[in-house]
Amino acid sequence: MNKLTVKDIDVKGKKCLVRVDFNVPVKDNVITDENRITGALPTIKYLMDNGAKVILCSHLGRPKGGVAAYADNKKKYSLKVVADRLNQLLGNKITFADDVIGEKAEACVNACKEGEVVLLENLRFYDEETNNDKGFCEKLARFGDVYVSDAFGTVHRAHASTAGIVQYGFIKTAVAGFLIEKELEIMAGALEAPKRPFVAILGGAKVSDKIGVINNLIDKVDSLIIGGGMAFTFFKALGYSIGKSICEEDKLDLAKELLAKAAAKGVKLLLPLDNVIADAFSNDANIKTVDHMIPDGWMGLDIGEQSIEAFSKVIDSAKTVIWNGPMGVFEMSKYAAGTKAVAAALAASSAITIIGGGDSAAAVTQLGYADKMTHISTGGGASLELMEGIALPGIECLNKK
């Protein structure tokens, strides 16, 4: 963690433009999961307590149509519901600006006093946000003497509010909030100097989604466990029959190369020993458990008991574990056992356990294991790119210590 944080600068009396991640699920105007809001509170409270004028900005969902569809988008994607909840949490010190830039937003920001907060409307009501438009960056940057990055879920995007306002030079002082600091210290720390044995568990449907991650992790881990749909591309590369399981035919040579690289590096690359297979992609299908050889007309949808036992044994001996991606079709109850077992093994482990966002984070939360994990990342895509070794625009733009 070689970036300045809010603790390294004097924020009193300064307008701090804080990029937070309030992209929360909302149903019938009720927030159904507040984790991203509560995750931002430590930084917001610190800035308030230290006399900053706090200007929050975030996106919510994927509104389309830009300014032309502003009125229609507000009905579904307005951050007003988040402002109302923040006021409950922070003692009615939040003012909601009914726009992102322009006169309404400027009036709210100009009226903001030390220790108070303004939440701007949804950034993505303007296409200029995702286009990293220089003019939009300039207008947004007027609301900040200091830029604070605290939305890890967006730091892999080179958008106006995540990087552009600093990269274009409109705000010179750019620091990390506490959430970003934690993500980098734990995740980047594990990748750079892990306690060993270091184990990575990767699941999900496609090898192509995680080629760079696998390639990078082979250089760092002691054991690499591969489950989920991507395992069948490796199975076919090894000459096993996979029935009608998901497979990326154009990635078979790559799978062979990754297997060879792991062997050359002395990394244990573990594939499932057995598979729960079905004759249809359905919770009502006929199922059975087989080894590597999947018969025609059947597809692999989860790992079997032998695999669970083998993977759990590796997890039990680990000192650091990173997990990203389910072991099967977790959303169907018949094929959730593998993912549940990996989550349980991590919960019981004494290792540093890091969940790389996305489906894995949802799984441990749903199963009640969240408090048993060392860290659950708030950014699936960002955590994957961090594991891949890719420079993240929203981190690169911050001032170094």
Residues with catalytic annotation?
36, 206, 358, 381
155 exposure class (CB count in 10 Å sphere: 0-12, 13-18, 19+): buried
Q: Which two tokens stand for residue 188?
A: 């980047």
Peptide bond into 63 cis (omega under 30): no
Contact 61, 16 (CB under 8 A): no
DSSP per-residue letters across 323-339: EES-SS-TTSGGG-HHH
325's CB contacts (< 8 A; 6+ apart) are 201, 202, 203, 204, 210, 227, 228, 230, 358, 359, 360
Helix/strand/coil percentages in the chain, nearest 5:
45, 15, 40
Whose CA is closest to 166, among 400, 396, 401?
Answer: 396
Extended beta strands in 146-271, E state: 146-149, 173-176, 198-202, 223-226, 268-270
